[in-house]
């Protein structure tokens, strides 16, 4: 009874460890998204790309600690791609967020309108010079739209940047909701990948490892060896080459006995870590 209690307690501990590690990995991934968003204006792609690569390496190592060694690189790549996409989408809303934070609503009149010159099939943005009701021009960049929305003399309400660094926008244009929702969805996808790997690690931790020794394992491996000797293709020298690590319960001599029963001999020389079988060999392994 005490052994069962200890085993159950050990299983709960193994389950908690991946969950705690996954929480740390998730927090780290979110911190990287926030940090790269802050650094986006300060550093260029020449520094951002190595930082993302380093992030991928660290993630792969952390995910391997969850127990998912085979798929850790793919999971890390997915998390990095979704995280980088989230940073990019948030960057699209950067000006809108700044304008919402420090901007002031003013009523203006369109005093001048012009469009980008035609360049093949590329879309042409429309630009507008605006003036307040007292006739003074709004400082800073001109308001821009992707289509011809307003005419000269038209009155509208815009959000003006007091620092004159950002172009004015209408309240509808300065709404970052769509970008923020998109960035949140991408961040959740990254966390979902981490959660998926955690679930796999937890499930694998609950599974009891299969025994590689004992009568049942030995019988199963002997049967697999017989099947391999019947179906495995020979190499260019006529040898059937198998890996002993696939048959940990069998000795080389026992494998030779099974091969002899199927009409093959087992090579004793020049195997380089493999088992080699053929009808005639240079030096035969003694039978078990």
Classified as helix, coil or strand, 276 is strand
pLDDT score, position 61:
86
CB 81 within 8 A of CB 89: no
pLDDT averaged over the chain? 85
What does each C-alpha distance from 89 to 33, 35, 165 come to in angstroms? 11, 14, 21
Residues of the chain with pLDDT > 90, as a percent, come to 46
Handedness of CA 47, 52, 53, 55 (dihedral sign): positive
Mean pLDDT of 209-236: 85
CB 251 within 8 A of CB 288: yes
Of the pLDDT bands very low, low, confident and very high (cuts 50, 70, 90), residue 14 is very low
User: What's 267's DSSP letter?
Assistant: B
**What would the pLDDT profile of 58-111 be if each residue is shown by its tens digit?**
988 888 887 666 567 888 889 999 999 999 998 888 888 888 889 999 999 999
Residue 71 or residue 141, greater confidence: 141
pLDDT score, position 13:
46
pLDDT score, position 205:
55
Mean pLDDT of 8-29: 70
Would you say residue 207 has pLDDT above 70? Answer: no
Mean pLDDT of 174-190: 90
**Whole-angstrom Cα distance, residue 285 to residue 256?**
6
Q: Which of 263, 271, 266, 270 is nearest to 281 (CA)?
A: 266
């Amino acid at each position: 009874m005490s052994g069962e209690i200890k085993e159950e307690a050990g299983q709960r501990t193994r389950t908690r460890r991946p969950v705690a590690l996954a929480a740390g990995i998730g927090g780290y991934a979110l911190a990287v998204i926030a940090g790269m968003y802050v650094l986006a204006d300060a550093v260029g792609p020449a520094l951002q790309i190595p930082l993302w690569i380093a992030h991928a390496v660290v993630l792969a190592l952390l995910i391997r600690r969850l127990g998912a060694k085979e798929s850790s690189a793919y999971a890390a790549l997915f998390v990095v791609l979704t995280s980088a996409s989230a940073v990019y989408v948030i960057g699209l809303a950067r000006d809108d967020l700044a304008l919402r934070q420090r901007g002031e609503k003013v009523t203006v009149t369109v005093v001048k309108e012009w469009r980008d010159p035609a360049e093949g099939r590329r879309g042409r943005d429309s630009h507008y010079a605006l003036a307040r009701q007292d006739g003074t021009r709004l400082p800073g960049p001109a308001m821009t739209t992707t289509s011809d929305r307003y005419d000269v003399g038209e009155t509208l309400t815009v959000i003006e940047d007091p620092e004159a660094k950002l172009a004015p926008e209408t309240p509808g244009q300065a709404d970052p909701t769509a970008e923020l929702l998109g960035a949140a969805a991408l961040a959740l996808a990254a966390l979902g990948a981490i959660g998926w790997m955690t679930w796999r690690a937890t499930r694998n931790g609950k599974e009891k490892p299969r025994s590689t020794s004992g009568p049942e394992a030995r019988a199963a491996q002997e049967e697999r060896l017989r099947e391999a000797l019947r179906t495995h293709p020979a190499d260019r020298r006529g040898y059937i080459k198998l890996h002993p690590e696939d048959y940990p319960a069998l000795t080389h001599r026992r494998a030779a006995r099974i091969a002899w029963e199927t009409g093959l001999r087992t090579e004793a020389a020049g195997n380089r870590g493999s088992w080699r079988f053929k009808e005639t060999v240079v030096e035969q392994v003694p039978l078990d």
